[in-house]
Structure 1
Amino acid sequence: MKTQFTLIILAVLAGAVLPLQAGLNVQLGKSVQQPIFAAFASFLVGTIGLLIYLVILKLDFLSVIQVKNVSPAVWLAGLLGAFYVAAVIILAPKLGTALTFVLVVAGQMSASLILDHFGLMGLPIKQINWQRLLGIGFLIGGVLLIRKF
């Protein structure tokens, strides 16, 4: 149970840093007048940070050769991440941070329901039911409230 609680806290913290990251990236994009460069810089700094972390962990970089066995499709994850960061940098100043992120969360939840329902990408199947659809309805209601006020 303690591990579950720790994972929940970690997930909440991960979600909490996204608007902060967006705000910082928007500032960078405005300062150089190029939101796509801000996304690039964000990924570059993140890549350097992860590389340092891997060195600290003493990763056996030779073991990474096993990536040659993965499907080429998995490399799309990096492009999807770049799209996400660039989109948030462009959208947050136009829609506001709250509306941008409630729409992002609505998109995440909708896609997650589909992935779960069909067990796509090796995920366990979790059928869509009325309770889950009600949750999406509440998200849409939240979108409408945030948009209006």
Structure 2
Amino acid sequence: MNPALIMPILLVLLGGGLLALQPPTNVMLAKAGGSPVLAALLSFAVGTAALLTVWLASGNRPGTAPFAALPWYAWLGGLYGAVYVAVAAYAAPRLGLAALITIGIAGQILTAMWLDHIGALGMPRYPISLVRVGGALLVVAGVVLVRRG
């Protein structure tokens, strides 16, 4: 394995593990506030405060000019995350965490394969292949097995 990939892989593994903690903590917020949308809002507020703190400590101050040239859809990333967080706060107690996460991963893989195939949003193009489709089918099979278990 390329040694330069070890740190990104470990960070993604950590991030994925933390994602499994997000739904149950947001379920607590949703129960307390009576709304998965409020839970998502509170979750994002805490995340925004944390990111603001880290960004301010970094000293990175790019100004506004680089953002002006971005296409409108570049601003939608937070919306996708907000939808997922609210849906997860709603669905986690109904599906269970393992099913929620595996179904979400299946959705991510299917969407990512399509985005890779067309080289969407400025990303490099990675065409769909039989091996990649096989991998996606294994994930979908995993969803079924986790849901039935």
- TM-score where L is the length of structure 1: 0.94
In structure 1, distance between residues paired with 2:123 and 2:66: 22
Q: Where does residue 49 of structure 2 map in the other structure?
A: 48
In structure 1, distance between residues paired with 2:23 and 2:64: 31
Deviation at 1:3, TM superposition (A): 2.6
Q: Where does residue 104 of structure 2 map in the other structure?
A: 104
Q: Where does residue 121 of structure 2 map in the other structure?
A: 121
In structure 1, distance between residues paired with 2:130 and 2:143: 20
Which amino acid is 1:123 matched to?
A: M
Q: Where does residue 34 of structure 2 map in the other structure?
A: 33
Q: Where does residue 11 of structure 1 map in the other structure?
A: 12
- TM-score where L is the length of structure 2: 0.94
Q: Where does residue 85 of structure 1 map in the other structure?
A: 85
RMSD: 1.2
The percent identity for this pair of structures is: 34
Which amino acid is 1:140 matched to?
A: V
Deviations 1:35-77 (A, max 9, x none): 111100011111111111111112226x234212111111111
Instruction: Mark the runs of 5 or more structure 2 residues left unpaired by the alignment.
Output: none
1:60 aligns with 2:66: no
Deviations 1:11-55 (A, max 9, x none): 111111001011111111111221111100011111111111111
Instruction: Mark the runs of 5 or more structure 1 residues left unpaired by the alignment.
Output: none
Runs of 4+ in 1 over 3 A off after TM superposition: none
SS at 2:64 equivalent: helix
Deviations 1:67-121 (A, max 9, x none): 1211111111111111011111111111000001100000000001101111111
In structure 2, distance between residues paired with 1:120 and 1:34: 34
